[in-house]
Chains A and B, each alone.
Chain A
């Protein structure tokens, strides 16, 4: 009998506790924050940018016990914070704080000047929004990423094909050294206007992105060249 009473009261307690948890949902926050990390190269430098923007809509439920929160919200601010680490350099930035209904934005730019060919540079980033009342209401980040500046010289050995107004020129590596190029191997395509001819030789710097040591992306910009050259 005693065990039965204890079980009953435990259920009452749990029910009451769960009601209390539900009652704690005084604040509803809907957000549309978005972040983007972009990397690029001009063939000499490596660039990375992190952008964050968006807004939040905070709504206090109309329960009497939520009134203290309603009162506190008048002084609340939202602050966007972004940062990118390139190699050993940190580039943090703090956007302008705004009211909870405000639209906020932050951006940071990092550079590795005169990047060493083929060297993997650590590239981690974060983008977050700090609410002075509720803490982090948006938090995105990425780590385990490296970027490298690599170069592949190419020769137009695969001809070209015109589709609509674009000429697609096919290149294979034309390396003057014995290195197997990180990008553009065994071949890659460069786009020109259909009225242009393919360059016979090109120098193509790439930004090579690795995630946890695995090459996931090569994006490059090409320049005319007079012949084969050193690849990395």
Chain B
């Protein structure tokens, strides 16, 4: 009988306690699901791959010598002829400038909204970000020679093996 009473108590307790359990969430939880481009490169979207690549090879305004050397090393291995490589560097630097301006404007607004208990339109920002990436891809496609564009696109697709992205949703 004591056993039945214990089970009944536990059953009731488990229905009552969720709020308490939730307010004491652990600081860390199980590893988040990640898509590994080395295993599933087809699951890395092109827009994500180009964004990561362009941000990695591009320089901020007034770069240091070290940043310039890295950009040279990063872009030379793409196998482009020199005029195409120089076009890539210029377009990537322009992307970098626009991208970070866009992010800063969004973050300033998001931070101010959050302090007032309001949400910002993150989906709209993500669309705006992806539009900038797409327009930069289009610009590269039209600026590089046909052979250069083909080489570059093949290279970025292959670089997906070094990319990892979050799986769409994490629930807690």
Contact = CB atoms under 8 A, between A and B. Distances in A.
Interface of A: 5-6, 9-10, 12-13, 16-17, 19-20, 23-38, 40-42, 45, 47, 49, 51, 53-55, 57, 64-66, 68-69, 72, 74, 98-103, 105, 107, 109, 111, 127, 133-140, 142, 163-166, 190-194, 196, 207, 219-221
A23 B4 contact: no
A65 to B, nearest CB: 3
A54 B166 contact: yes
B29 interface: yes
Nearest to A164: B147
Interface residues of B, number: 76
Contacts of A20: 14-15, 17-18, 21
A178 to B, nearest CB: 28
Interface string B106-121: 1100110111010110
A64 B16 CA distance: 12
17 contacts: A6-B3, A12-B7, A17-B14, A24-B21, A28-B170, A29-B170, A29-B171, A36-B162, A38-B159, A38-B162, A40-B77, A65-B22, A68-B19, A101-B119, A164-B145, A166-B145, A221-B73
Contacts, number: 218
B160 to A, nearest CB: 9
A192 B81 contact: yes
Nearest to A12: B11
B168 A98 contact: no
B48 interface: yes
Nearest to A35: B164
Given A16-B12, A207-B77, A105 B103 contact: yes
A82 B16 CA distance: 41
Interface in B144-172: 145-148, 150-151, 159, 162-166, 168-172
Given A36-B163, A40-B70, A51-B55, A219 B120 contact: no
Contacts of A194: 147
B125 interface: yes
A23 B18 contact: yes
B165 to A, nearest CB: 4
A140 B77 contact: no
Given A29-B169, A109-B70, A136-B31, 7 more contacts: A17-B11, A36-B164, A72-B23, A99-B110, A103-B125, A134-B29, A166-B145
B139 interface: no
A64 B119 CA distance: 20
A196 B81 CA distance: 10
Contact of B114 (A30, A55, A100): A100
